[in-house]
Structure 1
């Protein structure tokens, strides 16, 4: 009989509540006798009450009665029937008369009925919301989530807790479970929550935190499943018996799906009361997550086509748009970046004497943070759990397609005050402390397919920015942590210079606790490289007004400055536009232009400075700092530099070939003059780079011969191994140098770095040993010049005699100038910028590995010139998402039917999400990358042959004795000395030029710091 009633309920699931009351009442009052009713009630008690979409049991065995949180959790009234012993006692004492039994059965069947179908008045935005029975949303059903001083320890508070109404209570007549328990309070005033604290609150009595975890999430996940598999199950379309109510959602303009979903109670009530109950605010901003399934190209994401974003809907002016681009970084790197951004937003909001941020509304409403994930397939699913913990993502709501139109991007919007640190600690506000994180308007764009970083920027600039119209857009790569007030410093550079089009901050390597990462020579060398670039190169280019590259990992642009041609040229590298652009698209480009778009940020910088009719310039902001992780292994380091070197080489040639467009810009004559000087400097650097292979070999040979081979004329002794052994050792090192150099070409043309780790590691070690040996010989050569009588200090012969001896063929004076102008300038400039520590901790690795940058990195880059892949691939994970199919109502409007989960289920699934997000991080094993593309190997071969032939020709012309009669000089020794002198003088000249530019920038920055506004 119970089965009959249950089947009647399922058959009536599509009807309304009013339509179902009469059949059920008739079934209870007419067809069932009291004994049958009791039997039916007992059978109903035994059914699996709490089932997810796939029929898996939802309740946990962790607490008494199978309810998460224990017997004191008042949500038992929703999840479980009365205990079986109570029914037995009631029956035995004849307390269940026929009338009372009818009522009890009716309550049980009404609870069943609410699991299937009900209706409610439509929302103001046009779609119908079919909610559950009122009993499920009463204050007694779900306890209130305390906040601040009212918060109780534990995930859910105890009974009898006093409550006060909030916007969510007023609109839903419900309150919700309490916050996570406090773990510790750090010196920055923010309260942190760890997995252990959360687990102790969710599982009282010290029970196993893993017990029932997957059942609570609605998915039964075996321990052997990967996070990706579990994610697919959580987002798979519902199957089996449908237990949730549904609602009708009207599509915007008949085609755009945009839905508000309630966020877990612990998230919405973590928002400070002053924001939740603000009269000028929007309650759904903190209580609901807005999801939009974008089925269009980024260029078509417009108001005209029915798409919109919350900040624009609320008529807020967006001054600063912060964009975090993501590919496949883990949750630690993503949390590091996101938490750093939220801390920087707090620095801006807490400004007391600002001339701008404190006017025209709260500062936090002028800032929007956007996360753009490049595809479902490559993204780390644990990162999605971390985002769900702070409220900007939910499982199970994404749609693979809308009425047959494939979804291109899944867009989530929510304003949150929660954050997760890189060591998996949850941050929430406490009281009204100034250290609390302010509300942050979040836009999370999860692209359905992997389509490269340029496409992510197209969503940012052509999609979101067109609607929000920000003044400044800051670009940050996932994994880069902005320093304190770094984003404010970037924004201030635009606020104080109306002609500034772009800026960048200082990027430095992540050194670890106690700088332990500097024990790795590769990390130390990269740290030194970053520091010297930020002390000499970036200030020099900033002094001219054209920074050749604003790194996409940490840079900012004025949005109206890059609109038009700069963005048009920049987006020619987007693969999704290849068919539309034809020959101008990435698929129609030659191999040179394709390599150019490996360094697309350099193209954007040049196009911005050369923009016709404008005088935009670029600058470097020393006060803005960003910390990023760097490769720690040889294979990863080589692969990274391959893209950097090839892209920068091609982009530099592009800028030189199109330099004439500068004359169409609005720059004044002084700026144009200095831009010409800078272009000359860049050309000289490019020539030096091209012939660096020959230069390093000749420098190594010359210094070995000068010191190690004894000279009969000057009666010098071979050093350091004596007259007999020194030449032998030097020749052995030379042969080894040539052998390992040839090995680099063989490895680069036929092997991947990850497949030849040992060979590349040995190559790094050998070239570093040779470079250190050359440095020792160089210092000995200088020392011997001052003590061995090589230099003539007798001033009675005149200054000419001293200069003649100083610049003699021995080369000691020139070597001294080169050493001082290089290493000496490094020390002086570092101390002037009050940042000298890298000279003592990292210089040894950089100086020892200088040869490797040419003999290993550049050889591999040029030998793989044909490889322009970024690892683009399709998305198989999106197939797990459900589809949204439309229907027409009586008014002929398109709508879809959407599952409407009760708040209790949302909160229960959130518990499992928090535990996954705050779980300790484990490094996954790296898989093999796909093989290289073979289509451009012919061009690669010609380029490498030209490079080798030109460098070999230089070496032969300088050292070969057979061509003496064809040269102006008679001996190869003289030519070698002259070439060696030219190399050293050029190196010294370029270093001094960089130093002068660095001094100019330092003085200019000091003056501007005194007069800048905030």
Structure 2
């Protein structure tokens, strides 16, 4: 493939001279300063102390810093620029950070965007011609320090464009992504320079802090260096320098939510400048602010500025960067629409790699992804191995949530992804680290994918997100699954998906329960809906161009996915049944275990198991109450205790399971008969005692993890993280699944923010003599640009201070918590009374041996309570009918004589008790709403020939016969 096909007369194939002949920003004027003055000023503004004790690495934080020196930003002979702050502190990066930009800093950023400060000092102005009279695209000079950081071998090359390294290009896009075309006057530098884009690397961003952003961006630039340094590549070493075939694109989802320190970081490497953005152009609102620059600078996650050093093979090559800052927060799918429908349409890349801010690609990982596409022309999409960020010395595995997620990622990459890759259909290519062939996803895959974009809701109508039912809206919470299915099922093509083991990416994971629950809510609901979508539309596979062999395996995978979906649906009952059955097998005395209960003995084990079971159900009930009425962030303590309780129950069940299996082979609980043939052995093995079944379950669940990890030569997660995963298996269903399904109505991404951009100035055009539209803009001297850049660098490289989490509970959360506590107390108190009163509950708790005596003893307090409270719940108690002025005792006495009062009064008398035993209504007879107890018709029945009428003296106290309702 070549450069993009021309959309209009503004073709990217035009020559350099023809391009600059069209209306474009005027070049930056020369200010008449000689090189000596320029050099002296830069040294004055940007010099740092060479005697700083805080050594820093040049490129890799893990490299020893003994042989590296401090340097100034201008001096080309020194290799690192770091603030006075310890690298060990910087490397301790926390995950799931939410930027907390203070109001003072926000105000400072807003002041830097306006032009009011220019009134303090009079600058010259310049005229900027608009492309086609409507598109504002301006070149701004970058600070001298950034220009001087570019190596001369690139800056002075014959094919080099001078303004590529000296000027940053800004474009105010006032259109929808679909209208960002050459015909409408929009263009990008790589296309202007007639460069073929082989690899487009996209980083999507919402509100991550500068540490996470720097980690991702620096990792990408290191991977670009790996590609450029290839010596024997037949592709990258032909048709121009390799770095010119790679473009890095950052897409920020809104001005308001983004961390302004991250913007300072981008300004430090030259791809962003304060004060150049325009809120609108002639009243047309700017949708996206697009910056372009080619840089050799980078900032590490430890806030170390990295710049080239002469004759050093570790130097970063020039990287073509596009920075798209959307004016409004419009979600990740819209960011991908800018990537695929706007930038990719002009650049026409062969491969698009998708990364999330915070995901760090490993060494040569992007090269491994590209090689997979290069060697397989029918490969439509691929993903690498994602693993959790474990911190320095793997300290993060001490957090159970991080350890469990690390194990989950590892097992998915060892078992799930390779299996799906063998079938040719990987159900999900994670948006945080995946790649697609651009021409493979063009057409229907992207059309279906972008139905979830909120900004297209009016245009699409009923097919858009606003016209969808709740099922489809949840489906687009896992939009990457939709894209994968549409790609494999694309009519007339045989694209397949694969998993690339050699490509690795490190991502941050939630470290606290609320963030973890909120993240999994979107994942679980989205994946469940997307799985149903792929199963229901599986018939579209027949319209694709896959071979018969591939179709056969796709059918096998479809059956597997159906079974997995069914197991997921019934997982709530499965975990409860497993827990309950194992407790009964081990903890209840029976013939199966030779009447021995373990581990607390025959008397205590059933009692302990009873309370554990009831506790399991009560905490499970709590999850429904919390999920339906509370936010995870507002009920941290309750969710944390729930995680702890289910983990303890799982630990107890695991001990019982291994004890059950151990006794199976020791002959303590089951007899496996090996002497009477295979059939008899299988019958004994799968007997009702369950030992054989438990053995198979344990081996298939835990044994396969160990064996597969060893075969993959990657067993370390078994030692470091398996404990947390095994203990947390129950929580994944009882907490995460319950919360997800109870919040099926919530189709938000959990992102919010103001859509205002009031701090930005507007651009008003004027008519020139040649009738071309232009704007007048302040033309700052290079000295002022360099002076402002010094302050920017200080802010960008300042030590990162993690914002303190606001522990105060909002008023709404406090009301929700009170409601939850009230409901729980009400349910638990009534449940406790029921257990204490009913004989069945007493007998099950093994607190009494004679249920009849317990029944008599515990039911007696209910009688006077019911009689005393009866008037409060009836018309008689309110004096509305005859007999309302009688006391409960008088009404009971009158009830002993049928007909003494009218029928309405008798409706207020509770069920009569004979000999303190509850009567069965089926055993009484009568008429007119009155029933008489027949002899021997108590619940106990006649006893040894003695009728109930004369059984004991108590029968004489209230009359020979009792009238009841």
TM beyond 0.5: yes
Give the shorter-chain TM-score range. 0.7 to 0.9
Cα 1:874/1:422, change in 2 over 3 Å: closer
1:793-830 Cα distance to aligned partner (Å, 9 max, x none): 66443333322221111111111111111211111110
User: Structure 1's 713 and 140: CA in aligned 2 closer, same or farther, altered over 3 A?
Assistant: closer
Choose from 559, 562, 578 the match for 1:683.
562
Distance 1:926 1:822, change over 3 A: same
Match of 1:721 in 2: 600
SS state at 2:201 partner: strand
1:636 maps to 2:515? yes
Structure 1 contact 130–900 (Cα < 8 Å) conserved: no
Tell me the distance in 1 between the aligned counterparts of 2:28 and 2:170. 19
Once the two structures are superposed, what CA deviation does each residue of 1:282-319 show, in whole Å capped at 9, x if it has no partner? Answer: 01000000000000000000000000000000000000
Partner of 1:823: 702
Deviation at 1:231, TM superposition (A): 0.7
| Greater mean deviation of Cα atoms: 235-244 or 812-821 | 235-244
Partner of 1:236: 114
1:786-801 aligned at under 5 Å gives the runs 786-792=665-671, 795-801=674-680
In the alignment, which of 127, 130, 139 is matched to residue 35 of structure 2?
139
Quickly say closer, same or farther: Cα 1:701–1:417, change in 2 above 3 A: same
3-state secondary structure, aligned to 2:238: coil
How far 1:157 sits from its partner (Å)?
11
Contact 2:190 / 2:347 at 8 angstroms: preserved in 1?
A: yes
Matched-pair contact (CA < 8 Å) for 2:385–2:500 = yes
In the TM superposition, 1:357-396 aligns within 5 A as: 357-396=236-275
2:164 corresponding residue in structure 1? 285
User: Secondary structure of the equivalent of 1:226?
Assistant: helix
Q: Contact (CA 8 Å) 1:263, 1:391: kept in 2 or not?
A: yes
Question: Whole-Å Cα distance in 2 between the matches of residues 326 and 793 of structure 1?
Answer: 60
User: Is the aligned partner of 1:155 residue 2:46?
Assistant: yes
1:360-386, Cα deviation, whole Å (9 max, x unpaired): 111000000000000000000000000
Matched, 1:226 2:104: yes
Gap change, CA 1:128 and 1:575, over 3 Å in 2: closer
Match of 1:803 in 2: 682
Q: CA shift at 1:198, angstroms?
A: 6.2
Contact 1:320 1:470 survives alignment (8 Å): yes
**Partner Cα separation in structure 1 for residue 397 and residue 189 of structure 2:** 45
- State whether structure 2 residue 639 is matched by structure 1 residue 740: no
8 Å Cα contact 1:399-1:407 kept in structure 2: yes
Instruction: Quote the residue 1:332 is aligned against.
Output: 211
In the TM superposition, 1:50-61 aligns within 5 A as none
Query: Is contact 1:232–1:877 with CA below 8 Å preserved after alignment?
Result: no
Quote the residue 2:488 is aligned against.
609
The answer as to whether partners of 1:745 and 1:860 remain within 8 angstroms in 2 is yes
Does structure 1 residue 303 correspond to structure 2 residue 182? yes
Is 2:663–2:670's contact at 8 Å kept on the other side of the alignment?
A: no
Contact 1:328 1:378 in 2 (8 A): yes
Cα distance in 2 for partners of 1:822, 1:224 equals 49
Report the Cα distance in structure 2 between the residues aligned to 1:871 and 1:694, rounded to whole angstroms: 30
Counterparts of 1:292 and 1:900, CA distance in 2: 17
Q: Secondary structure at the match of 1:364?
A: helix
8 Å contact from structure 1 (residues 145, 269) kept in 2: no
Q: Distance in 2 between matches of 1:661 and 1:755?
A: 45
Report if the CA contact (8 A) 2:365-2:505 is conserved: yes
**d(CA) in 2 for partners of 1:329, 1:318:** 28
Q: Deviations over 1:612-657 (max 9, x none)?
A: 0000000000000000010000111001000000000000001111
Q: CA 1:229 to 1:876, structure 2 compared with 1: closer, same or farther past 3 Å?
A: farther
| Residue of structure 1 in register with 2:960 after alignment | none
Aligned residues of 1:195 and 1:425 also touching (Cα < 8 A): no
Question: Equivalent residues in 2 for 1:749-760 (5 A)?
Answer: 749-760=628-639
Cα distance, 1:786 vs structure 2: 0.8
1:47 is aligned to: none
Kept after mapping to 2: 8 A contact 1:344/1:486: yes
For the 8 Å contact 1:401–1:407, the answer to whether it is kept is yes
> Is 2:362 aligned against 1:483?
yes
Q: Could you tell me which of 713, 727, 730 is aligned with 2:609?
A: 730
Q: Does 1:623 align with 2:623?
A: no
Matched, 1:924 2:815: no
C-alpha distance 256-931 of structure 1, shift in aligned 2 (>3 A)? farther
The alpha-carbon deviation at position 431 of structure 1 amounts to 0.2
Find the structure with the greater CA-based Rg.
Answer: 2
Partner of 2:296: 417
SS in 2 for 1:548: coil
Give the 3-state SS of the residue equivalent to 2:366 in structure 1: helix
* Shift of residue 237, structure 1, vs aligned partner: 2.8
Name the CA shift for 1:498/1:833 in 2 (closer, same or farther; >3 Å).
Answer: same
TM-score, length basis structure 1: 0.73
Contact in 1 for aligned 2:425/2:496 (Cα 8 Å): yes
Check 1:144–1:413 CA distance in 2 against 1; reply closer, same or farther (3 A cut). farther
Structure 2: gaps of 5 or more residues? 1-18, 76-82, 86-100, 814-839, 841-965
Cα shift at 1:417 = 0.4
2:647–2:728 CA contact under 8 A, matched in 1: yes
What does the per-residue CA deviation read over 1:211-245, in whole Å, with 9 as the maximum and x for residues that have no partner?
xxxxxxxxxxxx98532221111102325345111
Q: Alpha carbons of 1:926 and 1:461: their partners in 2 closer, same or farther (altered >3 Å)?
A: farther
**Separation in 1, partners of 2:226, 2:65:** 17
CA deviations 1:53-104 (Å, max 9, x no partner) are xxxxxxxxxxxxxxxxxxxxxxxxxxxxxxxxxxxxxxxxxxxxxxxxxxxx
* Residue matched to 2:226: 347
Matched with 1:967 is none
Tell me, yes or no, if the aligned pair for 1:502 and 1:558 is still in contact at 8 Å. yes
Q: How does 1:636-655 map to 2 (within 5 A)?
A: 636-655=515-534
Q: Contact (CA 8 Å) 1:131, 1:245: kept in 2 or not? A: no
Q: Give the number of equivalent residue pairs.
A: 769
Q: How has the CA–CA distance of structure 1 residues 894 and 871 changed in structure 2, closer, same or farther, with 3 Å as cutoff?
A: farther
Counterparts of 2:525 and 2:674, CA distance in 1:
52
Deviation per residue, 1:442-475 (Å, 9 max, x gap): 0000000000000000000000000000000000
Instruction: Name the Cα RMSD after superposition.
Output: 2.9
Q: Which residue of 1 aligns with 2:281?
A: 402
TM-score normalized with structure 2 length: 0.76
In the TM superposition, what is the alpha-carbon distance from 1:197 to its structure 2 partner? Answer: 6.7
1:79-478 correspondence to structure 2 within 5 Å: 126=23, 129=26, 134-135=31-32, 137-143=33-39, 155=46, 184-186=56-58, 226-238=104-116, 240-478=119-357
Aligned partners of 1:227 and 1:382 also within 8 Å: no
Aligned residue in 2 for 1:92: none
Alignment correspondent of 1:90: none
Contact 1:143 1:157 in 2 (8 A): no
Q: 1:687 to 1:750 in 2, by over 3 A?
A: same
Q: How far apart are the structure 2 equivalents of 1:764 and 1:895?
A: 63
Residue 419 (structure 2) pairs with residue 528 (structure 1): no
Instruction: Give yes or no for contact 1:364–1:440 (8 Å, CA) kept in 2.
Output: yes
Q: How far is the alpha carbon of 1:123 from its aligned partner?
A: 8.5
**Would you say the 8 A contact 1:372–1:444 is kept in 2?**
yes
**Higher deviation after alignment, 874-883 or 499-508:** 874-883
* Counterpart contact for 2:381–2:437, Cα < 8 Å: yes
1:780 and 2:659 correspond: yes
In the TM superposition, 1:990-1001 aligns within 5 A as: none
Three-state SS of the structure 2 residue aligned to 1:508 is: strand
Per the TM alignment, residue 182 of structure 1 is displaced from its structure 2 partner at its CA by 11
Structure 2 Cα separation of the partners of residues 224 and 741 of structure 1: 40
Q: Map 1:499-898 onto structure 2 (within 5 A).
A: 499-712=378-591, 715-792=594-671, 795-871=674-750, 873=752, 875=754, 878-898=757-777
Note the C-alpha offset of 1:918.
0.3
